[in-house]
Amino acid sequence: MRLQSYDHKVVYQPGKTNVADSLSRLSKDAEKSPIQLKDNHICQIVDFARPRAVSLKEIIESSMNDQEILNVKEGLYSNIWKDDVKLYKIFQNELCFHEGILLRGTRIVIPSELRKRVLDAAHEGHPGIVSMKARLQTKVWWPRCDKSAENIVKACKGCTLVSTPCSPNPMKRRELPAGPWIDIAIDLMGPSKW
């Protein structure tokens, strides 16, 4: 419709005569080895998974000083798990280290000292429990992460004020009518167009 005001002619050109722009279609990954591609993929996962409230450098430094993560590292490499990291043992097939960062699948395991900051960043905008858990589950993980999110939302005064629903009035029992045609009820619906 927009082109009707122009004088134009549509001409069919077969695909053989259409010269594609090869530079825009050239794959950059063609000259990379599979190992480089895998490392690049892992780096992209780590960068995407990092919460913006915490820098990658902070996560690496905290991971090196966090006793819990060091115990997990020891458990992964020696298969001897200490009691304080038994919750990690359940997920040992999903855990790995990449450049000093503990990952569970595509999610970063946040060190203990940074968890409060990550929770505060996820709670920005005061989402409900379900939304906050969903935000966290896409990028980060630690044992009892969901419970921590629930506690933050339940402890937030703003969230409790807004989310407290007004309790409905209790249903009142009506007394039975003394006889027929004493109490009449009707449902009205309309206007109806048949």
pLDDT digits (tens, 9 = 90+) for 40-61: 766 666 666 555 678 888 999 9
pLDDT for 63 equals: 92
pLDDT for 102 equals: 92
Measured CA to CA, the distance from residue 127 to residue 121 in angstroms comes to 11
**Does the pLDDT at position 88 exceed 70?**
yes
DSSP secondary structure of 23-68? HHH--GGGGS-HHHHHHHHHHHHHHHHS-TTS-HHHHHHHHHH-HH
pLDDT for 194 equals: 61
pLDDT digits (tens, 9 = 90+) for 130-157: 999 998 998 899 999 999 999 999 998 8
**Does the pLDDT at position 30 exceed 60?**
no
What type of residue sits at position 77?
Y
pLDDT for 24 equals: 59
More confident call, 115 vs 31: 115
Domains within the chain, CATH numbers bracketed = 34-162 (1.10.340.70)
| Under 8 Å between Cβ of 29 and 37 | yes
Under the banding of pLDDT at 50, 70 and 90, the label for residue 75 is very high
What type of residue sits at position 11?
V
Measured CA to CA, the distance from residue 126 to residue 156 in angstroms comes to 8
| pTM for the whole structure | 0.60
- With a CB cutoff of 8 Å and minimum separation 6, the contacts of 126 are 156, 158, 159, 162
Measured CA to CA, the distance from residue 47 to residue 99 in angstroms comes to 12
Under the banding of pLDDT at 50, 70 and 90, the label for residue 35 is low
